[in-house]
Amino acid sequence: MTVESVSYSEAIEEVESILNELEGNVVDVDLLSQRVRRASELLKLCRERLATVEVDVAAVVADLDHDAEPAAASEATPADG
């Protein structure tokens, strides 16, 4: 499975599986560099997706804050009279 086609949660699960293999000495020495390389690729993908989500969420929050500003300003203005 290519890295790009893996969801974030699938990537995390696979990294955890690779870590368990490495910690348990289950990985054949001939496959060790392949497994470590795969884990590295998956972690890079996760970091990129998290960065993208962080930017997206910040934009949504900023938009919400922008929408709330006029209402908050009108509520804070004392009434004449």
Per-residue pLDDT, 76: 59
Domain count, the chain: 1
Report yes or no on 43 lying in a domain.
yes
Task: Please list the pLDDT of the chain residue by residue as tens digits (81 residues).
Answer: 788 799 999 999 999 999 998 888 877 888 889 999 999 999 999 999 999 999 999 999 998 888 777 655 556 556 555
Asked whether residue 31 is domain-assigned, the answer is yes
**Number of alpha carbons in the 13 Å side-chain half-sphere of residue 36:** 9
Question: In which residue are the tokens 């870590």 written?
Answer: 19
Which stretches does DSSP call E strand in the chain?
Answer: none
In a domain, 81, yes or no: no
> Which residue range is the domain that position 32 belongs to?
3-76
